[in-house]
A and B are shown apart, each in its own frame.
Chain A
Amino acid sequence: MNNLIKQKDILGFGALAVIIIVLPLFVESKYYFIVLNVIGLNTIVVVGLNLLIGFAGQISLGHAAFYGLGSYFSGILTVNYGFPLWPAMVVGMMATGAVAYLIGYPSLKLRGHYLVMATLGFGIIINILMGELEQFTGGHDGLMGIPPLAIGGWVFDNDLKNFYLIWSFVFLCMVAARNLLNSRVGRALRAISGSEVAANSLGVNTADYKVKIFVLSAMFASISGSLYAHYITFISPSSYDFHYSIQVVTMVIVGGMGSLWGSLLGAGVLTCISEALHIAKQYHIIAYGVFLCLVLVFLPEGVLMGITNFLVKNKDKAANYKNGLT
């Protein structure tokens, strides 16, 4: 069985790698490249957030802020201070992790639902600061002229190159998440969501683990935010508002809490829906709400598990299949 899981993993990641390499051959328009790249960026955030929601049983309503911190650290450090690009991204990731620790430590040690409140407030404050700290952030007009990333002399200056860059990060983040889940720490996280008191009695420092997984999920979001800033080369506060936090939480739930491949699916499906709707942003959240309700009512374990259940038509088999996927 465990070998089976490993084999399924290798198969899954092999298929993902092949699809990433081959897919651009079939994509012709710039528009579809942008959609695919946005799916990739969202997937990184959603995979990180799913570690928090699906495995540690905690919810964050402020991931737009961590995504935004990544973007703004990269943007401000490179544009205003001439920082080298990759180090700026690493600094952004570390700083975002530190900020997440400062939010997570008090709210998670206090137990209960403080993390939801704390991240909600934090997200709103950060979004306001992006607009108000004009001398650093460029205010509501945004920050322009962020240089594209480069390796040596190779500059990621078009949609295709960014596709490979972003999706390489998606791949690495998913492998890292899978590694984590297949080892001691991942089992401890799943134990926490199963029974916190039992996990604690078996030696898991549950409060510490919850803080750490929250920090890690914020760092995933930060990486994605940096990639976004260097890809689009322009950032402004409206990309990091409460809508985005809700969007990524919805992607986690639609894809399936605790399902890694579901995260990819959730990000893909909902990004496409957003794009297909072509309506004003404030109506997006209504569409998301409706979609979320439909999923929770009809496919409470997420789209991926829902489809699996339907295909296998055997709950036990599906449950064991899920074990293989999670």
Chain B
Amino acid sequence: MYSSDYILELKDISKNFGGLQAINHLSLKVEKGLIFSIIGPNGAGKTTAINLITGIYPPGSGHIFFEGRNLIRKSPYQVAHMGIGRTFQNIQVFQNMTVRENIMVGLHSRSHSGFLRCLLYTPMVRKEEKIIRQKTDAMLEFLDLDSKADLRVAGLPYGDQKRVEIARALAMEPRLLFLDEPVAGLNLQETKEMSRTILKIREKGITVILVEHDMNLIMDISNIITVLNYGEKIAEGSSKEIQNNPKVIEAYLGKEF
């Protein structure tokens, strides 16, 4: 078993999209069990960083280690099997399925029955289905979705869909979870609930990497904050340090302030 204090390490990662340098020599170390926040203006490269780590894009250069294992050239499904979950900034729920079924897909990497077994619905499939159902019920409860379990996701309010996406990622039982703007588009009440949910996720021992624009939320619950601008890290520290950092203020407000 890997036993460093850092669950995730990025070493000198760069990525450009046809000349546009989206990530520029980025290095990060994320300590286990914390809420690690990444902030920065729109287009700073936050989502791109998540996509590089989770295998959506190959990085141009650099190294990524998760629990000491190299993530470079791993496909998203392999990254998932290694124990990394994520949500998407532009929500990606399975609209054609119910809330319960969405979460059940989250348990894909925790079960094994293949095509032949499923076609025959063997005792192993039956057994796995039972476990999947139990774990799904627990996750429905954890995100307070029990009453909506059998509704199609397509008809649900935005806030519920966001919770479905998180429940689904948590069902994977990840050790590291990326949340890309989890409160964007939510009202005040929903934001408060989401904040509590994120704290509860940390309590489970899951390391959370949080990308958000809501500064109240960020300052409230983050253990460490990293600030990106034009694909580069310009600051890192506690909420207090970040709030008083002149580079950060400049990045957000422009030079004239």
Contacts and interface: CB of A to CB of B under 8 A. Distances in A.
Interface of A: 1-2, 176-177, 179-180, 182-188, 190-191, 193-195, 197-206, 212, 216, 258, 316, 319-320, 323
A182 B121 contact: yes
A212 B85 CA distance: 25
B223 interface: no
28 contacts: A176-B119, A180-B115, A180-B118, A183-B118, A183-B128, A184-B108, A184-B125, A184-B132, A185-B113, A187-B108, A190-B96, A190-B101, A191-B94, A191-B105, A194-B93, A195-B92, A200-B77, A201-B54, A201-B92, A202-B77, A202-B80, A202-B108, A202-B168, A202-B172, A203-B77, A216-B115, A319-B154, A320-B150
Contacts of A190: 94, 96-97, 101
- 3 tightest A-B CB contacts, nearest first: A203-B109, A194-B94, A203-B80
Nearest to B132: A184
Nearest to A193: B96
Chain A's interface: helix, strand, loop or mixed, by majority? helix
Interface residues of B, number: 48
B75 A200 contact: yes
B120 A191 contact: no
A201 B115 contact: no
A188 B94 CA distance: 10
B254 interface: no
A184 B128 CA distance: 9
Contacts of B128: 183-184
A176 B105 CA distance: 20
B120 A198 contact: no
Contact of B94 (A176, A198, A320): A198
Contacts of A323: 98, 150, 152
Contact of A183 (B56, B80, B96, B113): B113
Contacts, number: 125
B32 to A, nearest CB: 22
A199 B120 contact: no
A148 to B, nearest CB: 27
Contact of A185 (B118, B149, B155): B118
A274 to B, nearest CB: 30
Contacts of B97: 187, 190-191, 194
B200 interface: no
Contacts of B125: 179, 183-184
A192 to B, nearest CB: 9
Interface of B: 54, 56, 75-77, 79-81, 85-86, 88, 92-98, 100-101, 104-109, 111, 113-115, 118-121, 125, 128-129, 132-133, 149-152, 154-155, 168-169, 172
B76 to A, nearest CB: 4
Contacts of A199: 94, 105
B114 to A, nearest CB: 7
B93 A198 contact: yes
Nearest to B79: A201
Given A191-B97, A197-B92, A204-B105, A179 B80 contact: no
A197 B152 contact: no
A193 B105 CA distance: 13
Nearest to B104: A187
A127 B119 CA distance: 30
Contacts of B92: 195, 197-198, 201
Most A C-beta atoms less than 10 A away, residue of B109, B115, B150: B115
A275 to B, nearest CB: 32
B45 to A, nearest CB: 19
A249 B155 CA distance: 29
A201 B84 CA distance: 9
Contacts of A183: 113, 118, 121, 125, 128-129
A244 B100 CA distance: 39
B108 A203 contact: yes
Contacts of A320: 150-152
A185 B155 CA distance: 25
B77 A206 contact: yes
Contact of A179 (B76, B81, B94, B120): B120
Given A187-B108, A197-B88, A258-B96, 16 more contacts: A177-B119, A180-B118, A184-B125, A187-B101, A194-B93, A194-B96, A194-B97, A195-B92, A197-B76, A202-B105, A203-B80, A203-B108, A204-B77, A316-B152, A320-B151, A323-B98
